[in-house]
Structure 1
Amino acid sequence: MSSLPTEQTPLLNGHANNGFSHRLSRFLKPQDQPGWISSFRFFFFGSWLNILLVFIPLSILSHYANWDAALRFSFSFIAIMPLAALLGTATEQLSFRLGQTLSGLLNASFGNAVEIIVGIAALMQGELRIVQTSLLGSILSNLLLVLGCSFLAGGLKFPESNFQVTAAQASSSLMTLACITLVIPAAYHSAKSRGGIDDSDGLYHTWQVVDGSDLDDKSNYGLRIISRGTAILLLGVYIAYLYFQLRSHAYLFVEPEVEVESQSTTVEEEEESQMSVPAAAVGLLGATVVTSFCADFLVASIEETAERYSIPKPFIGLILLPIVANAAEHVTSVWMAMKGKMELTIGICVGSSIQIAAFVIPLLVIVGWISHHDLTLFFADFETVVLFVSVLLVNFLIQDGKSNYMEGLMLITLYLVIALAFWVS
């Protein structure tokens, strides 16, 4: 009986246990990094926007208590705003420690985490129109509203702002490619569609759906093959674009160093990590889980809110949801433009649009393929035209490598016209 404690003593105090304890202590209290308390203090109290976190319990309560649809929608809508900011904060803090390559992959995965979460939640509930309009709305919001406000804010402070035209054109060219890949399924559908007639109001109208149900079986199968094959190819192109941006041609995306030494030192100090890697990872995971629940509650309330208050569902998906998902990016992009950092502004706006068009949309098509939800790259003709003209206008405005407030007004005006069109759709 006395030998048992003696045999267990080395396990309690020996080298093996010390090695494990050392690794555990280094994880719980990393060296040369902020502690857990200071990390989470920065995470939760680093922005005034986090005051809106009080809407998270309200969102949960309203959903399970089955309150009015407008309250459920509004609480979930507002709750996602600070969660989107927290996701961006955690991703940014992780990127300080992981290097350029891993940072690029991390930003690709979590840079548009809200769009991915909302898209998957809507996809699992069979809301294909919400998936498509929310993703299209995120692209248009970044290209027109955010970039337009940034050009306008920068133009009001500086007569003219300059940026690297080669990098901007490379990004816009990839955006154009992604746009064209959406035109091809629409053209295929138009060639194969049987169409339909709706005479419910005494007049005859052709109708159009986006799930392929107006196609015969062979054409519907062809549309799915085109969409899934294109999705895989776009993901491959996006990976190549990451390598192009982060490694082979990284110099094209670097802002020219025109600042004096004292200013550059200040910038470096501002960019120091405020969170340890473990704390940032825990924060990222927690924010992702909570966002998934709020997104699910939000999507579940859309149908009833649209019907009860006569709000068009395309307007909710195209205009309202992207405002939530891109709230943090709106503020950051405008702030950078007012500082004259147009490379960062272009990177935020156009780069985020590329992520959605070449990464998020193909990813959701593949997720739908796996989960047996027939999400395709076929968008309605009207939406395809809207996206094409928006990308065309952005290409025209950034090809000279300069921006001013008038160009910002042009982009905002087009966005408002599109919003008006979807309000009456």
Structure 2
Amino acid sequence: MSNLPLLGTSNQSNFLTNAKKSTLLTLKSSPVNYLLVFVPIGLIAGYLNWNSNAKFWINFLSIIPLASILAFATEEISEHVGQTAGGLLNATFGNAVELIVSIIALKENQVRIVQASMLGSILSNLLLVLGCCFVAGGITRVQQSFNQTVAQTMSSLMALATASLLIPAAFHASLPKPKGNSGFFPEPGSSDELILSLSRGVSIILLLCYLFYLIFSLKTHKSLFEETNSADIDHNNSSDDIITKDDEHLSIYEALTILLITTILVSFSADILVGSIDDIVEKSGLSKTFIGLIIIPIVGNAAEHVTAIVVAMKDKMDLAIGVAVGSSLQIAIFVTPFMVLTGWIIDVPMSLYFSTFETAILFVSVFITNLVILDGESNWLEGAMLLCTYFIIALAFFYYPDSAGL
């Protein structure tokens, strides 16, 4: 009986040691984790109802490291559950921040914010991230090469995603104008309800197509993707040489705990951030479209931006292409249709109808991206072209009024 307290103390000591080790490993996973100091400040800002600018920007900064930790925890879980399940996990939680922010915005009927953030995530990955990769990797090299088949497969799927937005826009343009002038789209009881029905059907087809892509990349043609996966492992193993092989990975329970805690923190921070958008729009004069399309995607994609640029500098272009184009693909044929179906469930009219201007922007972006990766080689000038395209689009949306998109 006298040994029981000692046994309890030993278990408690082991628990604290493991907790300390997993915490340190998580904090060391990315340089952006220094921004975690903003997480408690952002929650306090929301609780004490500080002004909208403080609530928006502090929580904006706090979500960046939380997104990085979500990605890290997901990768750690993938180490334990195998490649197929790991691929599904990365597909789901790799865009967890975009999903959480979008679901919260959708519940508050901020459909324009959701649509703009979806489009913005696609554009920032295709143009900004890929452009930075080509410049960072190509500035010290004449040419860089990557797996042409994998890149073209993802580009073809991006073309399909573009068609899924072009067709509802063309469908909408051919419909008679709805009666009344409620200012909302689609107007209940009008022919615009056909857009919702079309969007929901297309969303189901896109999700099936994404499932086929996962089967293609993880099962039937996984040899094509093996080089990218091995590059990913090499990058993870070289990230911190101080950590020994046995201590490199979290246990599945530690990773799940971190994933759960981080998801809850992201939910609170995103709720405060989305709740402050209306005041930001009113006071700053910025449109909801610009905030959703240019500013919010930086939050969810910050960790991916850093990873892609670092591996491109190490001449691991297959991994860089996989992060940049692959992330856009997940947003286009997984997250966006998922949000349409979520809106259907909670009775919010989220559709795949984007304005003519927005669909034209997406078409141009996918077109120029396909051109530069068509030959399986890249250089810094092609990266500069992608960056210039992105900045032109950002400038255009800065002056683009919200009312034009309705």
Fold conserved between structures, TM > 0.5: yes
Structure 2 Cα separation of the partners of residues 220 and 413 of structure 1: 36
Deviation at 1:266, TM superposition (A): 6.9
Deviation at 1:254, TM superposition (A): 2.7
| Partner residue, 2:404 | none
| Partner residue, 1:319 | 294
Counterpart check, 1:367 vs 2:339: no
Structure 1 Cα separation of the partners of residues 359 and 125 of structure 2: 17
* Partner SS for 1:138: helix
Match of 2:125 among 142, 166, 189: 142
| Partner residue, 2:316 | 341
Structure 2 Cα separation of the partners of residues 266 and 254 of structure 1: 16
Match of 1:178 among 152, 161, 181: 161
**Quick one: percent identity of the two aligned structures?**
46
Match of 2:215 among 233, 243, 246: 243
CA spacing shift, 1:72–1:357, aligned 2, 3 Å: same
Contact 2:312 2:320 in 1 (8 A): yes
Deviation at 1:36, TM superposition (A): 3.8
* Partner SS for 1:385: helix
After superposition, residues 21-100 of structure 1 pair within 5 angstroms as: 35-100=18-83
Counterpart check, 1:101 vs 2:84: yes
| Partner residue, 2:375 | 400
* Partner SS for 1:411: helix
Normalising by structure 1, we get a TM-score of: 0.85
Counterpart check, 1:219 vs 2:202: no
Contact 2:135 2:380 in 1 (8 A): yes
Contact 1:146 1:333 in 2 (8 A): yes
Deviation at 1:363, TM superposition (A): 0.7
Structure 1 Cα separation of the partners of residues 202 and 344 of structure 2: 13
Structure 1 Cα separation of the partners of residues 159 and 89 of structure 2: 24
After superposition, residues 349-364 of structure 1 pair within 5 angstroms as: 349-364=324-339
Counterpart AA for 2:75: E
CA spacing shift, 1:380–1:116, aligned 2, 3 Å: same
CA spacing shift, 1:129–1:269, aligned 2, 3 Å: closer
Match of 2:305 among 309, 320, 330: 330
* Aligned pairs, number: 383
- Map Cα deviations across residues 267-308 of structure 1 (whole Å, 9 max, x no partner): 699796421111001101111111011111111101101111
- Map Cα deviations across residues 315-343 of structure 1 (whole Å, 9 max, x no partner): 11111101111000000000010111111
| Partner residue, 2:149 | 166
Tell me, which stretches of 5 or more residues in structure 2 are unaligned?
1-10, 401-406
RMSD, matched Cα = 2.7
Match of 1:382 among 340, 345, 357: 357
Match of 1:285 among 260, 279, 285: 260
- Map Cα deviations across residues 57-91 of structure 1 (whole Å, 9 max, x no partner): 22122122221111111111001011011101101
Greater Cα shift, 219-228 or 339-348: 219-228
Deviation at 1:258, TM superposition (A): 12
Find the structure with the greater CA-based Rg: 1
Counterpart AA for 1:250: K
CA spacing shift, 1:36–1:67, aligned 2, 3 Å: closer
Structure 2 Cα separation of the partners of residues 266 and 300 of structure 1: 40
Deviation at 1:251, TM superposition (A): 1.5
